[in-house]
Amino acid sequence: MHKFKFSPDDLFVNRLKTYPQYNIFIYQGSMFVNSESRITGSGGLVVYDINRNLSGSDMISPFVENGSRKPIFKDQVFQPIVKTVDAGPNGHYYKRKYAALDKQQSYPTTSEITSSYGVESPIKRNLTEAVSSLDTDYVDPTNPASSTGVNVQTYTDYFAGTTPTNQVIYNLTASALQNVARKYTILSDHFIFSSSAHNRNLLEEKINFITIPSIYYGSAIKKGTVELNYYITGSKVASCGDVNQNGELIGTSGTTSGSVVGIVMYDEGIIALTSSVQIENNSIVYNGTATTGSWLHYGTTLNDGITNTTLASASYDLDFQGTNYVNSLTMFAHAKKGHLNHSNNPTYRDLDVEKISTTGSGLTFVEGSTTLANVVSASYVSASFEKTTYISKVHIYDEGGNLIAITSMAKPIKKTLTDEFTFKMKIDL
C-alpha cells in the first residue's frame, strides 16, 4: 500500500470560539441542566456518557487485578479499561484479564481492585464562615512529653497565664481565594476582600460560594452572562446579575436592587455571594433553624450536606454562558493524475477468467496471471478498457504508521488515469 505525505500547505489549524449557554434550576437538593431530567444523584452534566443507561454490575468501572506487579501497565497487551460484563444477549462490553506475555509469569486473576466512574459533574454550594486558627503544637518546657496540639482560643499561655489575644480568625476559603481575586481588581475594587471603602472584610464574614466545574464553561465564564434568581412558592423575590460585565453581581430586583451582593471569578468558575440583607419574609428552615432568606441561603441543599426537606417553597435558578475554544484540523488529501488507479481488491480482477496456478518442487505455489476487470463496460453497452478505481475512504496515519482516522465518502468517487481530486477533511481536536 502506497502512502502519501501531507505537505505543510495541506494542513491548517483553526480555532473556534463558542459560548455554550446553561440554565440551572435548583430545587430541594436537585439541579436540572437546561431542563433535562436528572440521571443520578443531584444532577449535572454527564461526564461518562457510556454509563448513562447502565446500572449495577453492567456499569463500566476501572480496575486492577489483585496482586498485579507495577510494570504490567507498560507491557500488558490489553488495557484495563472496562469491567467484565455478561456476554449474553444483554451484554455490552468485555474485559480481557491481564495477559501474560511471552517469557513472563502469570498474574493472579482471582480478584480485582475496582473503583467507579462518576456519572455526572454537579455544581456545588458551600456556605463558609470565619473560624479560629487551626490547632497548634505548644511545648511545655516543664513536661515536654505531655505537650499536644491545642486550640489557641482555649489555650492558657504557660508563662502569662492568660488566653492569647493575637488569635487569628479567618474565613479559610476566602483566605485561600483572595490572591486569586486580586487579578480582577482591575475590573472592580469589590474583589479586594479587606476594603475600608466598602466597610467590610470578607476574610471575617460568611460567604456563600457556588462552584461551577470547568466542564460547563470551558476556558472561562463569559462576562455579563451570569444571572441568579431566587424564588419562593414559584414567585421571584430577588435577582442579581453581572450587568456591568465587571464581575460585580448587582441586585436587579427585590430588596437588594442596585446593591452589590457578590462577585464572579470568571476563570475559576466561582460565584461568591456576600450579602446578608433579607430578601424574603417567609420563615423557612434553611439549616435546622427557621429564618428569613438572604443571598447567603441561595442554593441551599445543593451538594452542601444539608438535607433538610422543609424548603419546599424555595427554589433557585442560575443562568450563564461559557467561553470555550474548539481547535480544528483541516487536511487536504490529493489524488493526482496517474495515481491511485490500481486496487488489490479481489473484485478488481476479472473473475470470469480462469485462474491458472502451478506448483513447483517443494512447498511452493505460484498463482497464474489474470486480467483486470473492465468496470466501464456493461451488458448493454461496450467500452474500451480503461484503468478505473472508485475511492470510498481516506485513511490517516501518524508518523509511526498507526491508523488514527478514517474518512468515508457519501458515495464512491470514480477515478480514471486523467482524473485529479482533492479531498477536504476536518477534525475537531
Q: pLDDT per residue over 198-247, tens digit each?
A: 888 999 899 999 999 999 999 999 999 999 999 998 899 999 999 999 99
In this predicted structure, what is the pLDDT of residue 266? 96
C-alpha to C-alpha distance for 246 and 356, rounded to whole angstroms: 82
Q: What cell numbers appear for 119 in the block?
A: 456519572
Range of lowest pLDDT (42-51, 171-180, 316-325): 42-51
In this predicted structure, what is the pLDDT of residue 396? 92
Highest mean pLDDT among 39-48, 244-253, 334-343: 244-253
- When the pLDDT of each residue in the chain is averaged and rounded to a whole number, the result is 77
Q: pLDDT per residue over 157-175, tens digit each?
A: 444 455 444 456 788 899 9
Strand partners, 120: 46
100 contact partners, CB below 8 Å, separation of at least 6: 106, 107
In this predicted structure, what is the pLDDT of residue 267? 95
User: Pseudo-torsion of CA 285, 291, 297, 298, nearest 10°?
Assistant: 80
In this predicted structure, what is the pLDDT of residue 98? 38
Domain boundaries, the chain: 18-46+170-325, 48-117, 134-167, 327-428
Range of lowest pLDDT (18-27, 254-263, 353-362, 387-396): 353-362
pLDDT at 365 over 60: no
**Per-residue pLDDT averaged across 45-70, rounded?**
69
C-alpha to C-alpha distance for 230 and 306, rounded to whole angstroms: 18
393: nearest Cα among 381, 410, 380:
410
Q: Work out whether the CA dihedral 25, 28, 30, 35 comes out positive or negative.
A: negative
In this predicted structure, what is the pLDDT of residue 65? 58
415: nearest Cα among 366, 354, 343:
343
**Pair 71, 64: CB distance under 8 Å:** no
- φ/ψ of 295, rounded to 5, equals -65, -15
Q: pLDDT per residue over 22-50, tens digit each?
A: 999 998 888 899 988 766 667 788 777 77
In this predicted structure, what is the pLDDT of residue 123? 93
C-alpha to C-alpha distance for 162 and 154, rounded to whole angstroms: 10
pLDDT at 376 over 90: no
Under the banding of pLDDT at 50, 70 and 90, the label for residue 147 is very low
Predicted TM-score (pTM) of the model is: 0.65
**Per-residue pLDDT averaged across 363-373, rounded?**
63
In this predicted structure, what is the pLDDT of residue 361? 60
**Pair 219, 325: CB distance under 8 Å:** yes
Q: Residue 297: left (phi > 0), alpha (psi -120 to 50), or beta?
A: alpha
Q: What cell numbers appear for 159 in the block?
A: 508563662
In this predicted structure, what is the pLDDT of residue 388? 84
Max distance between CA atoms of the chain, in angstroms, equals 114
pLDDT at 272 over 90: yes
Range of lowest pLDDT (165-169, 186-190, 266-270, 411-415): 165-169
242: nearest Cα among 321, 317, 185:
321
> DSSP string spanning 314-371?
EEEEEEEEEEEEEEEEEEEEEE-TTSS----SGGGB-TTSPP-EE--SSS--EEPP--
In this predicted structure, what is the pLDDT of residue 89? 44
Written in H, E and C, the secondary structure of 176-238 is HHHHHHHCCCCCCHHHCCEECCCCEEHHHCCEEEEECCHHHHECEECCCCCEEEEEECCEEEE
Q: DSSP label at 38?
A: P
